Structure 1
Amino acid sequence: MKTPVPVLRLPRGPDHPDSRGFDPSSPRFQALRSTRGGAAAAAAGLPELREEQQARSLLRQRYLRSLLAMRDAQVRFRMYERVHVEARFGASDIDVLNFQVSDLQTPIGVQKEALLRCPDMISYSLEL
């Protein structure tokens, strides 16, 4: 019997209708352009759009700096179903969908290492 060969699937190019690329004629690009005012508005330098972009950039920088400040800090997480846990913060993934923590103290015991899903959290806090 011959050895099966795995198939390598390459991502679709921007010309494909289901692509996630940046083809200006793609439905996704058109939808984003219509909701954001489009690249033409940004190029024209509308003050409202420029201010919004600066505000978003500033908020994103502050949030990322807060994640850096949390490194190795003891953090309290308030989860759904009235669950409160505490752990030493390690890192976040690039999409901020998961937090890696150590010494997670839960109502039923301590977990040495764990991943906490951000959609399961209501809030988190720490002492500075």
Structure 2
Amino acid sequence: MADPIPVPVGILRLPRGPDSSGSRGFSCNPRNFQNPHNSQNSQDFHNSQDVQNSRAELRARFLRLLSSARGRPARFSLWNGLELRAEFGAADVHTGAFQVDSLQTPLGIQGSALLRCGDVLEFSFPLE
């Protein structure tokens, strides 16, 4: 009996983390923490209601977009470089997935599928 042919395994390269100076998004300085009880940051604390209102409005817009997108053709770009086309179905916030119909993949067309949000880099609705 012949030995099985080894299957090549791809290498997963993770993004580099922040360096010790904190220049890549993380600060090593604990004084940058915004404490609402600190008089210096009290103005930021009062403006947080404005920030919360803005975020609520953006979330409402996004949810209206998703509800009006049902049945429209969509294009999904995945992190691995694949571009997929499908008919948008729905988005599940709790499990983090997009439900699509007629998913066009390099291997063929799937009647329906779930795309994990973590795999999707971006999605759009092309004007056709």
- TM-fit CA distance, 1:94: 2.9
- TM-fit CA distance, 1:82: 1.3
The aligned residue for residue 65 of structure 1 is 64
- TM-fit CA distance, 1:96: 6.3
Give the length in aligned residue pairs: 88
The aligned residue for residue 99 of structure 2 is 100
- TM-fit CA distance, 1:47: 3.3
% identical equivalent positions: 38
Aligned pairs (5 A) from 1:11-30 = none
- TM-fit CA distance, 1:72: 0.6
- TM-fit CA distance, 1:63: 0.8
Q: Once superposed, what is the RMSD of the aligned Cα atoms?
A: 2.2
The aligned residue for residue 15 of structure 2 is none
> TM-score, length-normalised on structure 1?
0.61
CA contact (8 A) 2:75 2:126 kept: no
| Structure-2 change in CA distance of 1:125 and 1:52 (3 Å) | same
**Gap runs ≥5 in structure 2:** 1-32, 38-44
- TM-fit CA distance, 1:127: 3.1
Q: Distance in 2 between matches of 1:36 and 1:121?
A: 35
